[in-house]
Structure 1
Amino acid sequence: MEEHARQVADLLRLLANENRLLLVCALLEGPKGVGELAAVVPGITRPALSQHLHALRGAGLLRDEKRGQFVTYSLADPRLREVLAVLKREYCPDP
């Protein structure tokens, strides 16, 4: 139980960052390239974007696929979709 609590706390700590949350929400719609993800987070620098993507990938939440010079990111952990569905339902009600 203690290990499970640690894993959930780690996930929530990652999602507590507004930029990372925006990136993950954008990837709910499907895989996206770095340029598309940069457009989702207003004012983010490329180095900051790279750090956030690296943190999410390192935690096993994202996967990346490189094709030549282009990298496409997608969700790697299916539980992430479920967590965000609950958050959206509870905190983002339809108008």
Structure 2
Amino acid sequence: MSNLLLFAFDKIKAKIKDDCIEENIGASERVLSVIAGGFILGLGVKKIFKSPLAGLSGLTLGGTLIYRGVTGHCDVKKLLEDKDVKKVEVIEHRYFVK
């Protein structure tokens, strides 16, 4: 039974890995995004009739986290990383010898 389960997980992992074109999220971050997204999505479904605004917010955030985890791509992270990268240009090398 466990071999069948491991085989299924390996197939799913390979399928997700093949579909991802621009992966900028690591594997552990993807797993945590899916777990947190599922939890928040569940809370949003639970609250949708008691507090529609909080429920809708939970549905949106949870769905976004699940999408982020499954695809392995986050546009927000990509934008933040692009701003941090600075082009370093060497103008002149000087060597001092005594």
If each structure's strand is expressed as a fraction of its own residues, which one has the higher value?
1
Q: Same fold (TM over 0.5)?
A: no
TM-score range, shorter chain: under 0.3
Higher helix share: 2
Q: Normalising to structure 2: TM-score of the pair? A: 0.25
**Which one scores higher on RCO, CA 8 angstroms, separation ≥ 6?**
2
